Amino acid sequence: MMWIKICGIRDVETATEVAQLSPDAVGLNFYPKTPRAVASETAAEIVTSLPHGLEPVGLFVNRTAESIHEICRRCTLRTIQLHGDEPPDELAKLRGFCEDYRIIRAYRLGPEGFSALAEYLDRCRELGVELSACLIDAHVKGKYGGSGRTVAWDVLRKQYDRERWPPMILAGGLHPDNVAEAIRAVSPWGVDVASGVESTPGQKEISLVERFIAAARTAFESVD
């Protein structure tokens, strides 16, 4: 499987240019404390502009299930990426609002390893919440993603329980010059990039997006 997401799209023009490069998904960031934040009105326009088959993903940090559902309703979003400290009970509430939601849980990998993630996923199973994927990012104090810091690829490859846990999306410090190496080292289900294809924070550089997608596709084909 090969899944490539370009995260932090903020306007229709950039969304159109990125869409022409045929990633699998684009991310719309609703966390206000980031240069990649997008207003819900603009996000709705972006979603409408996307071609069929290109998946829009709403990224949220520590919002209530009610707030997330309302934004998703306004923007016609069905895939949700949670980057904060949302407990499994909030995920269950989201599923209560809409059974069709696809939920991606982000986990920031630090020195403690995967013990907290294992407990979290066990609780999700107890509540009947099936996650679509887990996105693994680097743990950087005070940040919920977009730090540009890479994950410990060797730890990730050895310790991520692919048999019991959801499909793995690799994030954290990826860019056109290292994404192929990362894919070969980790063999993830998908990859996610934000800062690694930007000229300045929040501003996508289309040539970098094009190089990233090409390198990722080539690498995915070589490990299949």
Q: Residues 91, 130: contact at Cβ < 8 Å?
A: no
At which residue do the structure tokens 């997401």 appear? 5
Find the length of the chain.
Answer: 224
Instruction: Given the residues 7, 72, 75, 134, select the one marked as catalytic.
Output: 7
Which of helix, strand or coil describes residue 84?
Answer: coil
Task: Indicate if 137 belongs to the active site.
Answer: yes
Amino acid letter, residue 120: Y
Task: Indicate if 124 belongs to the active site.
Answer: no
CA distance 57 to 47: 9
Instruction: Given the residues 75, 134, 137, 192, select the one marked as catalytic.
Output: 137
Q: What letters, b where the CB count within 10 A reaches 16 and e where it falls short, cover 65-95?
A: beebbebbeebebebbbbbeebebebbbbbb
Q: Which residues are catalytic?
A: 7, 137
